Amino acid sequence: MARSSARNAGRLPLALAGATLLAILVVPVAALVLSSSPRDLAAGVQHPLFGPALWLSLRTTIVSLLIVVATGTPLAWWLAATKSRSARFVEILVDLPIVMPPAVVGIALLETFGRAGLFGPFLQYWQLQIPFSTIAVILAQVTVSAPFYVQAAAAAFRRVDPDLLLVARTLGQSATGAFVRVAVPMALPGLIGGAALAWARSLGEFGATLLFAGNLPGTTQTMPLAILLALESDVRAALAISLVLAAAAVLLLLALRVATARQWARGPGAEF
């Protein structure tokens, strides 16, 4: 008896620490949900800021996600499959936007694609303008969200047994064929998880967008920016936008869990 209560007492600090973190994470979201009534929500949703920001955020984050997945998947595969030393260096480069403050990312993008930036003269020659455009929003989102996807995808590809890929090759698949028909399906839960993270990150992107793309309703004013502006004029609108973003995040998480759960349901040997 004494030993089990001593063991439980030893677990208490750990349980408290975990519970505290959980509270810090959950309570603000709960407060957000409790903070507005359905009538306030209805009023907030009708605010002129809400619609354009929602539509812009949806458009841009979906395009960003497609770009990230299309370009990040081959990169992640190379990182997972290669034995060259340059791969480690490339990994650090890919991770950079995660550790850089978003404001720094914004300024870096300006210095690259801005009129006075590295590619400025080139872009001007082709009469392409990037800052202040929706393209700038997408660029900023891609920059900050890609590392999440590439990391998750590379980790998922690394977990694929190389023997299976060799078997696929001996059965007549080219390297690309083995990648498409074996590696990708097996890595899919990890790929989906990475994509969800990347999407969530670009949905919430603020600092780089503000500095690089600017703030114009309908063109560059994404939902996070709209929240800040709405707070200045109509708090209900700000709350409504915040709730929609929070709900989107929750739905993403649920979809993620369902997708991965279905993979496990295939049977004990299906743990790939």
Partner 1 sequence: MFTPPVTALRSAALLAVLGLGCACGAGADDATVVTVFAASSLTEALGELAEEFETANPGTRVRLNFAGSQILRLQLEQGAAADVFASANPDHVAALNAAELVGPAEVFAHNELALIVPVENPAQITAFDQLTRARRLVVAEPNVPAGRYTRELLRRANEQLVPGFGDEVLSRVVSEELNVRLVRAKVELGEADAAIVYMTDAESSGQVLRIDIPPAVNVRADYSVCLVADGRAGEAATRFVEFMLSDTGQAVLLRWGFGVE
Partner 2 sequence: MQDATILWKAEIRVTLGSLEIDVAMQGGRAPVALIGPNGAGKTSILRILAGAHRATTGRFELGGDVLFDRSDEFELPPEARRVGYVPQGYGLFPHLTVLDNVMFGFKSSAPAPRAGSGRQAAAAMLHKLGCVDLAERHPGALSGGEQQRVALARALVAEPRMLLLDEPLAALDAIARRQLRAFVAEHLGTIVQPTLVVTHDVRDVMALNAEVYALDSGQLVQSGPWAELAAQPATEFVREFFDLHGPTDTPQPAS
Near partner 1 by CB under 8 A: residue from 115, 159, 257, 266:
115
Please say which residue, 103 or 256, places its beta carbon nearer to partner 1.
103
- Is residue 116 within a helix (H) or strand (E), and if so which, with residue range? none
Q: Binding marks (x or -) toward partner 1, 172..211, rule CB under 8 A?
A: ----------------------------------xx--xx
Q: Binding marks (x or -) toward partner 1, 34..73, rule CB under 8 A?
A: ----------------------------------------
| Cα 38 to Cα 255: distance, rounded to the nearest angstrom | 25
Q: Report residue 158 CA to chain centroid gap.
A: 21
C-beta of 5: minimal distance to partner 2 in Å? 42
- Is residue 5 within a helix (H) or strand (E), and if so which, with residue range? helix 2-35
Stretch that binds partner 1, among 4-12, 18-26, 165-173, 229-237 (CB under 8 A): 229-237
Contact (CB, 8 A) for 198 and 94: no
Residue 69 partner contact from partner 2, partner 1, none using kind-dependent CB cut-offs of 5 to 8 Å:
none
Near partner 1 by CB under 8 A: residue from 216, 252, 256, 259:
216
| Cα 206 to Cα 64: distance, rounded to the nearest angstrom | 15
Residue 206 burial (CB count, 10 A): 18
| Cα 99 to Cα 141: distance, rounded to the nearest angstrom | 15
Contact (CB, 8 A) for 217 and 53: yes
C-beta of 173: minimal distance to partner 2 in Å? 6
C-beta of 75: minimal distance to partner 2 in Å? 23
| Cα 40 to Cα 23: distance, rounded to the nearest angstrom | 26
> Please, what's the largest Cα pairwise distance for the chain?
81
C-beta of 267: minimal distance to partner 2 in Å? 3
Residue 260 partner contact from partner 2, partner 1, none using kind-dependent CB cut-offs of 5 to 8 Å:
none
For residue 111, give the DSSP letter. Answer: H
Binding residues for partner 1, per CB under 8 A? 103, 107, 110, 114-116, 120, 129, 131-132, 206-207, 210-211, 213-216, 219-220, 228-229, 231-233
